[in-house]
Chain A
């Protein structure tokens, strides 16, 4: 039995909810709130656009930029004029009710309704998972056509109040298009650069880093809107520009914060928008005119289909990968209208546009139709037409390497041909980026880090975190990789580390041993250690661990020696094989802790004396059991960051241990005890040098 949500896209359901709520309020006798345009434009729309812009998959976007631009600009213009013109004709013919609507009004109406709406597109396309190309085409188009919409809207609105429209006005209008779009982008870029620059200096106040991102983006949006430039384009430009630099500068936590905040806000906004749409439908004054509405609907569809067909024919001449008819169909079908159209319509002035209500009714009808009908049917259609779906895979490092390789290759070939193609410009941009821009905008050493390495680190960290979370001994990256996570500044760290590639048998062996001796590793909480207390499963896992240890060792040491966990761990046989060498290492926390500021988030200083203390208690004959669970937990909670020192010692002091490889194997694993694996991920972002 198919559930409702698999048939009906979320946006439809939300609108229905809105309708119900509106009906309820009206039924009670109150006046339901209408989606006011300023609320919409100022508060509800920006988060969605920022989310889209910040996480825009840049590569497919730039590769298809030409296509997207043509669809956005020419397509929207075509839609607007075609629709406007046809509606004018209909109005003239339509009888007494419609005769008075002038050409300008119709053109205005056309421009309002012709814009494909990013919110609606996002909502529907998210669920159907079509392949990246189509997604980015429709989505990119919906984002970029804002410039056109803004220009046309303001243009026609202005003109409506003129007595007469001259050619000069039209030409000015045409020019204003460039001003609006390029101006918007410029504003966005400026703010993006400022934001990136700011983030360079935030290494001491990590907590407010996300704030800068949001703040600057919002300011970009507002500034652009202030000057009647395209706010959406500004927002997107800001997000796109600031992203690489900001991500290089900010801490992992901030990055996660930004990501989830954006997702949250945009989700909330989207929901609210659709609900409000439903409520407004019930609340607004409607003027239903059959001819007008039906013909609007009809012509909208026709205009869209025609536009897409013609443009694709034109574009395919220039594309390497052509757009098949199936693609074209999806693109045409995906032209959903949404709340932006409604709000723009709502903004219309009663004085100039007496027929505002009729327009609004028509707009709402079109929106409903596209969202409900097209939204609902697009999924089965996608399945029916066997359109390629999105491939849900993570990028492997192989892909990254080879893609870069191919990029270089292609650039070279292009140079040989003297052909200034796509790769050539990209390469140039990259070089420029590396040479000048990165130096300014990224703090410290990270500016020299090549993209490949950054990617590699990211992957490693992700994998390490995954490993921890899954609590098991999954596939272990080659042992040496954890070392490299720490190794951001190769110059500062000793280079005589021996990093053998583990042969598979040895790996297997190690894994087996560890598997038998370690049981469940605790579910370690990640970078949020600081703020979360240890939960119960922690204790459980610890108990089990303890039991194991008890069993494994011949126990004369049934003492409760509540010393540090790491110290004990050194002794336990399960670890001893791996940690044979770590004894001497344990005594060197101090000197290594200078290297460690990179690792801990909290300043290491208050804690390192502690650690020294703890370490030094070792020789007092403790061997014993690891402390009791409660103590342990406390110990863990309090010194949650601390024990990373002994752990990392293993890495930093070269080759003392017999089995360095084993140690590193361990490090990869979520070994029990407060060994914040994700902390290792932290050094990935050096906190100032």
Chain B
């Protein structure tokens, strides 16, 4: 349950703690079983080359690049409309940056961010734009944790 997660001390100080916790719980439920837990964590498995060749026909494995990005995208996008709006971005920025910075500054940063990423002019970042922005960032390496080694 959520309280169990919240008892982890580091998560409490992590700015994104709440959102991460929420990511584990599928829609509407309040308990996470091991399977669900594993599913979420599976996003962070390092990408292996041989997997790609096997799974051409079936659904993509959970740890593919696009799924990883999708996971991150979902953390931004709270209302699940497949876009990161300015407000959502602002919220995330506010969480990461703390209380010292004024709202306008954050607002301008958010605007700048959206302006940079936005290609279809809807003042929000869609998943495709998100992917494009992060194409230079080595997501596979960043979003991978070696488990159980």
Cβ contact within 8 Å between A452 and B92: no
B136 within 8 A of A: yes
Cβ contact within 8 Å between B116 and A416: no
Q: Which residues of B contact A410 (CB under 8 A)?
A: 44, 142-143, 145
B66 to chain A, nearest CB (A): 15
CA distance A456 to B112 in the complex (A): 9
Q: Which residues of A contact B41 (CB under 8 A)?
A: 413, 416-417
A494 to chain B, nearest CB (A): 11
Q: Would you give the 0/1 interface string for A399-428, flagging 1 where the beta carbon is closer than 8 Å to chain B?
A: 101111110111111111101010010000
Q: Name the segment of A254-262, A483-491, A678-686 touching the other chain.
A: A483-491
When the two chains form the complex, which single residue of A320, A408, A499 contacts B107, counting CB atoms closer than 8 Å? A499
Q: Which residues of A contact B142 (CB under 8 A)?
A: 403, 406, 410
B15 within 8 A of A: yes
Q: Which residues of B contact A401 (CB under 8 A)?
A: 92-93, 96, 109, 113
CA distance A480 to B104 in the complex (A): 8
> Closest A-chain residue to B43, C-beta based?
A413
CA distance A94 to B104 in the complex (A): 78
B59 within 8 A of A: no
A620 within 8 A of B: no
When the two chains form the complex, which single residue of B13, B20, B46, B92 contacts A413, counting CB atoms closer than 8 Å? B20
B78 within 8 A of A: no
Cβ contact within 8 Å between A409 and B20: yes
A493 to chain B, nearest CB (A): 9
Q: Would you give the 0/1 interface string for B47-76, flagging 1 where the beta carbon is closer than 8 Å to chain A?
A: 000000000000000000000000010011
CA distance A408 to B23 in the complex (A): 14
CA distance A499 to B86 in the complex (A): 15
CA distance A483 to B107 in the complex (A): 11
Cβ contact within 8 Å between A501 and B111: yes
B100 within 8 A of A: yes
CA distance A9 to B48 in the complex (A): 37
A396 within 8 A of B: yes
CA distance A480 to B108 in the complex (A): 6
B128 within 8 A of A: no
Task: Given A412-B11, A412-B16, A452-B97, answer yes or no on A495-B134 (Cβ-Cβ < 8 Å).
Answer: no
Task: List CB contacts (< 8 Å) of B71-93 with chain A.
Answer: 72, 75-76, 92-93
Q: Which residues of A contact B137 (CB under 8 A)?
A: 399, 402-403, 406
Q: Which residues of B contact A421 (CB under 8 A)?
A: 145-146
Cβ contact within 8 Å between A320 and B115: no
CA distance A421 to B149 in the complex (A): 12
Q: Which residues of B contact A398 (CB under 8 A)?
A: 113, 116-117, 133-134
> Closest B-chain residue to A445, C-beta based?
B100
Q: Would you give the 0/1 interface string for A204-218, flagging 1 where the beta carbon is closer than 8 Å to chain B?
A: 000000000000000
Q: Which residues of A contact B5 (CB under 8 A)?
A: 416
A: number of interface residues (CB 8 Å): 48
CA distance A417 to B5 in the complex (A): 11
> Closest A-chain residue to B18, C-beta based?
A412
Q: Which residues of B contact A480 (CB under 8 A)?
A: 104, 107-108, 111
B123 to chain A, nearest CB (A): 8
> Closest A-chain residue to B37, C-beta based?
A416
> Closest B-chain residue to A456, C-beta based?
B109
Task: List CB contacts (< 8 Å) of B99-123 with chain A.
Answer: 100-102, 104-105, 107-109, 111-113, 115-117, 121
Task: List CB contacts (< 8 Å) of B23-44 with chain A.
Answer: 41, 44
When the two chains form the complex, which single residue of B8, B108, B133 contacts A416, counting CB atoms closer than 8 Å? B8
B3 within 8 A of A: no
Cβ contact within 8 Å between A484 and B93: no
When the two chains form the complex, which single residue of A481, A490, A495 contacts B108, counting CB atoms closer than 8 Å? A481
Q: Which residues of A contact B121 (CB under 8 A)?
A: 504
When the two chains form the complex, which single residue of B105, B116, B140, B143 contacts A397, counting CB atoms closer than 8 Å? B116
Q: Which residues of B contact A320 (CB under 8 A)?
A: 46, 140-141, 144, 146
Task: List CB contacts (< 8 Å) of A470-529 with chain B.
Answer: 477-478, 480-481, 483-484, 487, 490, 495, 497, 499, 501, 504
Task: Given A416-B20, A481-B112, answer yes or no on A487-B145 (Cβ-Cβ < 8 Å).
Answer: no
When the two chains form the complex, which single residue of A402, A477, A497 contacts B112, counting CB atoms closer than 8 Å? A477
> Closest A-chain residue to B117, C-beta based?
A398
A166 within 8 A of B: no
Cβ contact within 8 Å between B113 and A397: yes
When the two chains form the complex, which single residue of B105, B111, B143 contacts A453, counting CB atoms closer than 8 Å? B105
Q: Would you give the 0/1 interface string for A371-396, flagging 1 where the beta carbon is closer than 8 Å to chain B?
A: 00000000000000000000101001
Task: Given A413-B44, A450-B97, answer yes or no on A321-B140 (Cβ-Cβ < 8 Å).
Answer: yes
Task: Given A397-B116, A398-B117, A421-B146, answer yes or no on A495-B111 (Cβ-Cβ < 8 Å).
Answer: no
Cβ contact within 8 Å between B11 and A416: yes
B22 to chain A, nearest CB (A): 11
When the two chains form the complex, which single residue of A321, A408, A424, A484 contacts B16, counting CB atoms closer than 8 Å? A408
> Closest A-chain residue to B13, C-beta based?
A431
Task: List CB contacts (< 8 Å) of A276-312 with chain B.
Answer: none
Q: Which residues of A contact B17 (CB under 8 A)?
A: 412
A100 within 8 A of B: no
CA distance A501 to B16 in the complex (A): 27
Q: Which residues of B contact A63 (CB under 8 A)?
A: 141
Q: Which residues of A contact B139 (CB under 8 A)?
A: 406
Q: Which residues of A contact B76 (CB under 8 A)?
A: 405
Q: Would you give the 0/1 interface string for A639-665, flagging 1 where the beta carbon is closer than 8 Å to chain B?
A: 000000000000000000000000000
Task: List CB contacts (< 8 Å) of A422-445 with chain B.
Answer: 424, 431
CA distance A93 to B58 in the complex (A): 63
A114 to chain B, nearest CB (A): 31
Cβ contact within 8 Å between A452 and B10: no
CA distance A478 to B123 in the complex (A): 13
Listed by A's residue number, 21 A-B pairs whose Cβ atoms lie within 8 Å are: A397-B112, A398-B113, A401-B93, A402-B72, A404-B96, A405-B16, A406-B137, A412-B14, A413-B20, A413-B44, A415-B8, A416-B41, A417-B145, A419-B145, A449-B100, A450-B97, A452-B109, A477-B115, A481-B112, A487-B102, A487-B104
The 5 tightest CB contacts between A and B, nearest first, are A490-B102, A415-B10, A412-B20, A480-B108, A398-B133
Other than the known A402-B133, A402-B137, A405-B16, what 13 A-B pairs have Cβ atoms closer than 8 Å?
A: A397-B113, A398-B117, A403-B137, A405-B75, A409-B16, A409-B20, A409-B75, A410-B142, A413-B145, A416-B11, A449-B100, A450-B97, A477-B112
Enumerate chain B interface residues (CB-CB to A < 8 A). Answer: 5, 8, 10-11, 13-17, 20, 41, 44, 46, 72, 75-76, 92-93, 96-98, 100-102, 104-105, 107-109, 111-113, 115-117, 121, 133-134, 136-147
